[in-house]
């Protein structure tokens, strides 16, 4: 089995690459940092005797996306994991609009584009799995991370609809909604400083390895949704059952605690 993972140079994507290799799957790793990708691919191919290749690509750049699409249309990818993403933080009017649009390009546009190539290629063989990494943030409007939350709401909604459309085929679409996971994610934006006085208790945090293992278990069981961890499952269930007026107030309070508004 061959698995293509975007955003494989750190965090959840790197852990997914490690878990895939441990399970003896061939891997195609995509991200911008060539040195990190080379290091991971080298280590994993030697250690687990698998084929590991890299595609260096900035998924907000159309020419680079074409490189990844070209790799997908070789028609040997069994699992496509759309994991690359980032999240900006702060009051919308104070953020850099170019960065916000970049976030939409990566979290939404690239994911849709690669899903399209993946589905087309998998339909030819009538087998495959698309895994889209969304977030617990997709369950509620995210005050202080308005664009990020909205991109992830798109990913969750898109994935559910796609799964139903492909219901009669051999292709599964699974969406993953992680909660707080210790990765580079928080260093890439204002989130880290903002979370110095974090309102999130320790038990809510997971490692990227824990999340990756749960994702593979979800792939094996052909799940529709994976919400990693009990605390996150509970939060998702509460957020889904409360009226929007209440979840809006809750996330506004949390944003205040994180000094994001």
Contact 246, 254 (CB under 8 A): no
The CB-of-228 to ligand NAP minimum distance in angstroms stands at 9
Q: Write out the binding residues for ligand NAP, residues 71-100 only, by CB under 6 A.
A: 83-87
Residue nearest ligand NAP, CB atom distance: 11
Q: Quick one: DSSP state of residue 31?
A: E
| Residue of 3, 4, 9, 153 that binds ligand NAP (CB under 6 A) | 9
Cα–Cα nearest to 159, from 137, 145, 138: 138
Q: How far is the CB of 117 from ligand NAP (least distance, A)?
A: 15
Contact map string, positions 203 to 232, toward ligand NAP, x by CB under 6 A: -----x------------------------
Whether the Cβ atoms of residue 127 and residue 171 lie closer than 8 Å to each other: yes
CB 2, CB 77: distance < 8 Å: yes
Q: Give the contact letters, 126-165, x = binds to ligand NAP (CB under 6 A), - = no.
A: -------x-x------------------------------
Respond yes or no: is residue 200 known to be catalytic: no
Binding span for ligand NAP by CB under 6 A among 31-39, 92-100, 157-165, 224-232: 31-39
Task: Identify the CA nearest to 78 among candidates 153, 144, 131, 17.
Answer: 131
Segment lying near ligand NAP (by CB under 6 A), choices 116-124, 164-172, 180-188, 212-220? 180-188
Nearer to ligand NAP by C-beta: 86 or 92? 86
128 φ/ψ angles, rounded to the nearest 5 degrees: 150, 170
Query: Does 117 engage in binding with ligand NAP (CB under 6 A)?
Result: no
Distance of CA 86 to the CA centre of its chain: 9
Check residue 185 for interaction with ligand NAP (CB under 6 A): yes
Q: Which of residues 24, 33, 51, 70 is near ligand NAP by CB under 6 A? A: 33
Cβ atoms of 34 and 54 within 8 Å: the answer is: yes
3-state class (DSSP) for residue 64: helix
Query: Per the structure block, which two tokens stand in for 227?
Result: 């919400």
Per CB under 6 A, 183 contacts ligand NAP: yes
Q: Is 67 in the site for ligand NAP (CB under 6 A)?
A: no
87 CB contacts (<8 Å, ≥6 apart)?
103, 135, 137, 145, 148, 185, 188, 189, 191
CA-closest candidate to residue 134, choices 260, 12, 1: 12
Contact call for residues 139 and 177 (beta carbons, < 8 A): yes
178 binds ligand NAP (CB under 6 A): yes
Q: How far is the CB of 133 from ligand NAP (least distance, A)?
A: 5
| List of residues contacting ligand NAP (CB under 6 A) | 7-13, 31-33, 36, 57-60, 83-87, 106, 133, 135, 178, 180-181, 183-185, 188, 208
Catalytic residues: 148
């Amino acid at each position: 089995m061959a698995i293509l993972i975007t955003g494989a140079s750190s965090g959840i994507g790197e852990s997914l690459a490690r878990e895939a290799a441990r399970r003896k799957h061939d891997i195609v790793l995509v991200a911008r940092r060539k040195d990190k990708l080379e290091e991971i691919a080298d280590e994993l191919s030697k250690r687990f005797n698998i084929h590991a290749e890299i595609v260096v690509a900035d998924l907000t750049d159309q020419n680079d996306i074409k490189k990844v699409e070209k790799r997908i249309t070789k028609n040997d990818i069994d699992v496509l994991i759309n994991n690359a993403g980032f999240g900006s933080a702060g009051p919308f009017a104070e953020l850099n609009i170019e960065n916000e649009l970049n976030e939409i390009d990566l979290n939404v546009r690239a994911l849709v584009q690669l899903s399209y190539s993946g589905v087309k290629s998998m339909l030819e063989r009538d087998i495959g799995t698309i895994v889209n990494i969304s977030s617990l943030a997709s369950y509620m409007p995210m005050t202080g991370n308005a664009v990020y939350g909205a991109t992830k709401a798109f990913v969750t909604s898109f994935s559910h609809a796609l799964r139903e459309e492909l219901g009669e085929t051999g292709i599964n679409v699974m969406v993953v909604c992680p909660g707080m996971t210790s990765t580079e994610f928080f260093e890439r934006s204002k989130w880290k400083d903002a979370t110095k006085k974090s309102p999130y208790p320790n038990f809510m945090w997971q490692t990227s390895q824990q999340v990756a293992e749960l994702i593979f278990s979800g792939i094996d069981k052909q799940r529709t949704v994976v919400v990693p961890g009990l605390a996150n499952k509970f939060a998702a269930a509460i957020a889904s059952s409360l009226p929007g007026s209440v979840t809006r107030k809750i996330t506004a309070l949390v944003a205040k605690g994180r000094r994001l508004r």
